[in-house]
Amino acid sequence: MENKKELGKKKLIIFGLEDFAKIAYEYFTYDSEFEVVAFTANQDYIKEHSLMNLPVIAFEEIEKIYSPEEYYFYAAITYGRLNEVRANICKQAKEKGYKLASYISSKAFVWKNVKLGEHVFIFEDNTVQPFVEIGSNAVLWSGNHIGHHSIIRNNCFISSHVVLSGWCIIGNNCFIGVNSTISNNVKIGNKCWISHGSIIGKDVPDLSITKSNSSEISELNENLLFKLLSKISKKRNISN
């Protein structure tokens, strides 16, 4: 039997069947004002008709079963085609009459004067400082720092442990990879891909990709490794 809190929750449909959809289900279910009642996807992608013990309904028919007047909608899609896939599903859902849901983790710090668009998903351990503006259809995965007066425009995906310093501007339809750092007053243009570990100290024009150097991977030689570690240890002992 539902308790009073559950009865007062808003009913939500999640679009998607992959990892993000399952993660969104967890957060919406245990840390929000929403109750997830069903999943949906385009008919061609449906292989099973149940997910997380909830029905999976074809998106083409969803409004016939769940009235747009009574249910909210969230598109749990990552950054395909620089977030255009997620944006297009949101557009179609709105055309059907659905209201778009947002999620802000109770473990995120979002200052009171931050401006948020619709259909925003902010994970735990994000710090969003005063005077920040975040546009519609944005995803901020866990552990980011969004500096004061920065602007993130529409249809962006900020992955984990990204640092935006103060007064940054991120254009529409951008992806920023894990552990990237963007300096003060830097502008990232529209439709840019910032690879993981990038350090950006100057403006980036529209339709750009930044490349970060990955660590070199070599075959492990245990004898050489232990000799190297032994030398490092001896140097530390001498210095101490």
pLDDT in tens, 113-137: 999 999 999 999 999 999 999 999 9
Split into its structural domains, the chain has a count of 2
Between 240 and 111, name the one with better pLDDT.
111
Please say which residue of 101, 126, 153 terminates a domain. Answer: 101
Is 16 inside any structural domain?
Answer: yes
Residue 224 φ then ψ, to 5°: -65, -40
**Model pLDDT for residues 10-23, shown as the tens digit of each residue:** 999 999 999 999 99
* Same-domain pairing of 16 and 52: yes
CATH number at residue 111: 2.160.10.10
The answer to whether residue 61 sits within a structural domain is: yes
Name the domain boundary from 64, 84, 101.
Answer: 101
* Same structural domain, 96 and 176: no
121 and 191 share a domain? yes
Does residue 216 belong to any structural domain of this protein?
no
pTM of the model: 0.89
**Residue 82 covered by a domain:** yes
Structure confidence by residue, pLDDT tens digits, 90-110: 999 999 999 999 999 999 999
Chain segment 192-204, per-residue pLDDT in tens: 999 999 999 999 9
Do 96 and 108 reside in the same domain of the chain?
no
Q: For the domain that residue 72 is a member of, what is the CATH number?
A: 3.40.50.20
Domain range for 156 is 103-208
Domain boundary among 60, 84, 101: 101
- Measured distance CA(77)–CA(86) in Å, rounded: 6
Confidence class for position 3, pLDDT limits 50, 70, 90: very low
- Shared domain check, 144 and 108: yes
Domain-embedded: residue 40: yes
